[in-house]
Structure 1
Amino acid sequence: MNSTDSPPRSAAPLCAGPLTVLGIDVTSAPGRRKPLACAAGILQADTLHIDRLHAVTALHGLPRHTGANTPWQAEMLLCAPPASLEHLLAHKGPWIAGFDMPFGLPAAFLHWWQQAQRDCRTPLRKAAPLCEPASELPCWQDYVSSLAQLDKDAFRQTIYAFMNTRPTGHKLPLRLTDAQTAAQSPLRLNYVPVGRMFHALVPLLASCGINIPLLRPTTDSRTAIEVYPALAARAVLGNPPRYKDGTGAQRQQRTQARAALLEALPEYCRTIGGLALSVRPQLYQTMLQDTAGDFADALLCAVLTALAVRRRDAGMPPVPHLKMYHEGCIALQDMFCPPQPHGSGTTAPA
């Protein structure tokens, strides 16, 4: 798809009946000590029922004695934890999942990467421009597939090579959506390594044919959107919301903050989006005891996903900037953050 075309906003409406909703807090290398945290439930009319918290301990792999064409139903996600992210994505729709990770990369990097691909003789020496016309950016499916061919070390070295072409203060550029929501750069490889999350997980989304609004709309009844639990946490607890990790006395304070967050969340859902939230009582204890806050974040992801379902185009902006068809967009950013003007001639038609 050429950037100068008018891209489709959404290929198919989301399910009008009961819909399986998943909220997924992401790690780039899930295992038993640090799994993908998943909150699973059903959105029925105006109520989100959260029934399960799953710990997904692998990215790849299907259950034994099954094949890729096994018809796993969406309802099964409310029963047993999926064996892997690949297994989760293989479940038939209708379902929608909100992932706490960037689905795309900044335009500055994409422009540099595309130029590097065109000139294989000196791919890592070209200076990356600070402003990039959207009409010259590669399409999402193409650059995700290309970067997926790099192993972890090669991807890391590619990011560092890009950073070396940038002036001080511009090493880690943001996407438009990151700037609006105060999110991390998707190129960050340490502290909150969202770049590693992108490289490890997004190719799985790109390869399984699911509907991804703006970036790769399809008619599939499985949908994935990018959500940012900090948006809801800030709104409930203030900024910065401190409800995770900590040491010593901090840990007790942050457990209390998680309790306050979980207690206030149902009323907040009703106020901001007319959404009733119902969570099994025993799940609250799991979220309170999880000092990392991963399961609390998974719940926030599920709530944001349900709120997005109730809005047009799964929570995408009413008039997306053209770059968002390449970079991606955090769902509901306009609900939580005041929109920023894009200037004339830069938006895609609705």
Structure 2
Amino acid sequence: MALVSQTSFDPPALLLGCDFSSAPTTRKSIVLALGCFRNKRVTLSKLERFSSLSAFSSWLNQTQSWVGAFDLPFGLPRELVHTLRWPSEWQACMAHYAALSREDIRQVFAAFCAARPVGGKFAHRSTDLIAGSSPSMKWVNPPVAFMMHAGVPLLLQAGATLPGLYAPAAESSDRDTAPLKVALEAYPGLLAREVLGHRSYKADDKARQTPERLIARKDLITALEQGRTRLEMHLKLSHAQRDALADDASGDALDAVLCLMQAAWASRRHEEGAVMYGLPPDTDPLEGWIITA
């Protein structure tokens, strides 16, 4: 295992954004937004949905190159890892974490929180505080700790490189032919808040799928199409795609597209010579970082 620094590979043509679920079903699936980037335009080619982790894993293991932004945490807070006396090297820490059951994780994290004062129950990564995302150790509402537990092993099994954290060892004979799969941690809420502020644009509960949230989704889509974000990219959609994104009241498809935009930004940064696809050079090699934060 080696940390990622520079790479001589050309950026893959395929970009993807992933709205992830640790327990996907036909009703609440994992959504992939697939597309490409050219001349400051991000074109959405299609949406893929997966109702099981095994189906999603099979897609990841296909022999194709991509740069993907995934809405799940890639690391735990350094403070938490040190307090629990878990391995402080990322790969060893993730191996230890993956070996635990979800109930084990719930009990260990609940005990950690119980020993801390009110107002400071959770440990946070630096990137969580800057991005405004949930702490990566949170196991409810949303259960991002379980998303990491389910998702990171699938990325590693697929042979993905996680810039700043992990690069798979490759036989010298495979270096020129093996697909380059680059996985980056994303948070769609970061980009959505830039446009909408604190307006809500999604809800899984049908009773909360209001006209106001529909209007917010349409406003967000329009802003992405017009390039009115600091990413300085325009989203290119067909009329049917625009309607489908607006009509998905859960926001899952739109979240996948927001991640796709973040993947495109990272790919562009790589083209411009950024060492780690736009991640800060001082990214904590245990905690990781949310792209564009």
Query: Does the alignment reach a TM-score above 0.5?
Result: yes
Secondary structure of 2:199's partner?
coil
Highest relative contact order (Cα 8 Å, sep 6+), 1 or 2? Answer: 2
Secondary structure of 1:96's partner?
strand
Cα distance between partner residues in 2 of 1:85 and 1:29: 11
User: What is the correspondence of 1:208-219 to structure 2 with a 5 Å cutoff?
Assistant: 208-218=158-168
Q: How far has the Cα of 1:159 moved from its partner?
A: 1.4
Q: How far has the Cα of 1:105 moved from its partner?
A: 0.6
Cα distance between partner residues in 1 of 2:199 and 2:59: 30
Distance 1:42 1:301, change over 3 A: same
User: What is the correspondence of 1:1-350 to structure 2 with a 5 Å cutoff?
Assistant: 8-13=3-8, 15-16=10-11, 19-60=13-54, 84-113=55-84, 115=85, 138-218=88-168, 221-238=180-197, 240-245=198-203, 251-268=210-227, 272-311=230-269, 312=274, 313-317=276-280, 319-321=281-283, 324-333=284-293
Cα distance between partner residues in 2 of 1:104 and 1:248: 34
Cα distance between partner residues in 1 of 2:140 and 2:163: 28
Aligned AA (1:23):
G
Where do 5+ consecutive residues of structure 1 fail to align? 2-6, 61-83, 118-136, 334-350
Aligned AA (1:255):
L
Cα distance between partner residues in 2 of 1:241 and 1:108: 32
What TM-score do the two structures reach when normalised by structure 1?
A: 0.74
Cα offsets for 1:184-223 (capped at 9, x unmatched): 1111111111111111111222333211000103576101
In percent, how many aligned pairs have the same letter?
A: 32
Cα offsets for 1:229-255 (capped at 9, x unmatched): 1111111112x1311127658611100
Equivalent residue number for residue 132 of structure 1: none
Aligned AA (1:275):
M
Q: How far has the Cα of 1:274 moved from its partner?
A: 4.1
Cα distance between partner residues in 1 of 2:6 and 2:25: 35
Q: Which is higher, the Rg of structure 1 or of structure 2?
A: 1
Confirm or deny: 8 A CA contact 1:24 1:99 kept in the other structure: yes
Cα distance between partner residues in 2 of 1:248 and 1:90: 38
Cα distance between partner residues in 2 of 1:15 and 1:278: 23
Q: Bigger shift: 21-30 or 47-56?
A: 47-56
Where do 5+ consecutive residues of structure 2 fail to align? 169-174
Cα distance between partner residues in 2 of 1:59 and 1:226: 18
Equivalent residue number for residue 336 of structure 1: none
Aligned AA (1:10):
S
Cα offsets for 1:291-327 (capped at 9, x unmatched): 111111111000111011111221201x314xx2100
Aligned AA (2:166):
R
What TM-score do the two structures reach when normalised by structure 2?
A: 0.87
Distance 1:156 1:256, change over 3 A: same
Confirm or deny: 8 A CA contact 1:255 1:288 kept in the other structure: yes
